Structure 1
């Protein structure tokens, strides 16, 4: 299988929590993200969840709080 590298930007807190979770589950963060992304096409709710995250993201960008709460991860 051919792979591609992907760059994404997440908060320090989200990265920290995800790395802890991955370590506790003896898996790499890269493997977790790969599994989530590869599973998106098979998930009939993925489009709706992505739309909800996009809407929440837009509202957080316009939110006056300089430290918005992290968005939930659509599964």
Structure 2
């Protein structure tokens, strides 16, 4: 999932530009000031989660990654 292109160019989502802060085979994390987007790839789905100002990014990351892990284990 994570590519040099996404890390260089960032991500445009819901009318905002986000800077990629981490990308690997299954996940992409991007932020814009105090908001962010987490994208997690499974076999069948792209899970997209967001957090806004006042929320803890780590909680969003953990929940999204756990759901992605669960779906991958189930073959989805």
TM-score w.r.t. the length of structure 1 is 0.36
Which has the larger share of helix? 1
Which has the larger share of strand? 2
Q: Which has the higher contact order (CA 8 A, sep 6+)?
A: 1
Over alpha carbons, which structure has the higher Rg?
1
